[in-house]
Amino acid sequence: MSGAILVLSGPSGCGKSSLVNQILQERDDIYFSISTTTRPMREGEAEGVNYYYISKEQFEAEIEEGLFLEWAEVHGNCYGTSLKPVREALDAGKLVIFDIDVQGHAIVKEKFGEILTSLFITTPDAQTLQDRLIKRATDPHEVIAHRIKNSQEEMARLDEYDYLLINDDFEESLKKFRAVVETALLKIDTKRKALFINKWYNLKNS
């Protein structure tokens, strides 16, 4: 594998999707990992764009077959990352971006730690997050309350991440996000380091 991995985590409503969508328009060396989920498709979403939507029974069958890099149950629905397209993108030398929760980050770090960079994205405070979720108007109030509670649990694991991005101003956040992407692309594993060192010492006139 010659690529690298960037894991993004943070509460729903913090602006991860907007940042990712912009960077995908700017670069062709990035593969955004599309998760598979058992939750119903929302209005305005599309199969293979936002998620791959499958039944819980199919999801459980794919877990048994070992087809997921990581998976977790969030808000009563299952979300998982298919392993095959991730490996293909890494072999092609691309930066693979994951938008996953703190549980998923821990699993990806265990399997691909040498080539992983992690970024936690959040709002300036919980009130801002709540206001954004209410304005988005995609979830009922009880779901929003549950998301706020989960965000507090996620914040407690902030020290597991390499970088923190407080998304208050989009343009400023985008500049910082671009910098993290460039940094992530510099990550190389031990094997590639050894190959480079051997190649570097190969003098033609020795």
Under the banding of pLDDT at 50, 70 and 90, the label for residue 14 is confident
- One CATH from 3.40.50.300, 2.40.360.20, 3.40.30.10, 3.40.50.1260 for 4-200: 3.40.50.300
Amino acid at site 100: I
Output the CA–CA distances (angstroms, integers) from residue 182 to 41, 62, 120, 134, 186, in the order listed.
33, 34, 16, 34, 7
Radius of gyration, alpha carbons of the chain: 18
List, edge to edge, every strand of the sheet that includes 52-53.
52-53, 36-37, 77-82, 68-74
Give pLDDT, residue 144. 80
Banded model confidence at residue 9, pLDDT cuts 50, 70, 90: very high
CB 149 within 8 A of CB 175: no
- What percent of the chain is modeled with pLDDT above 90? 51
Nearest C-alpha neighbor of 150 from the set 4, 12, 7: 12
Closest CA to 101 of 131, 75, 67, 129: 75
Residue closest to 72 by CA, chosen among 84, 64, 80: 80
Contact criterion met (CB below 8 Å) for 161 and 108: no
The pLDDT mean for the chain works out to 89
pLDDT in tens, 45-59: 888 888 889 999 999
Residues 6 or more apart in contact with residue 178 via CB below 8 angstroms: 23, 26
C-alpha dist (Å) from residue 191 to 26, 110, 113: 30, 17, 13
- In tens, the pLDDT along 119-153 reads 999 998 888 888 888 887 677 788 888 778 888 88
Residue 1 pLDDT level (bands cut at 50, 70, 90): low
Q: What is the pLDDT of residues 111-128, one digit of tens each?
A: 899 999 999 999 988 888
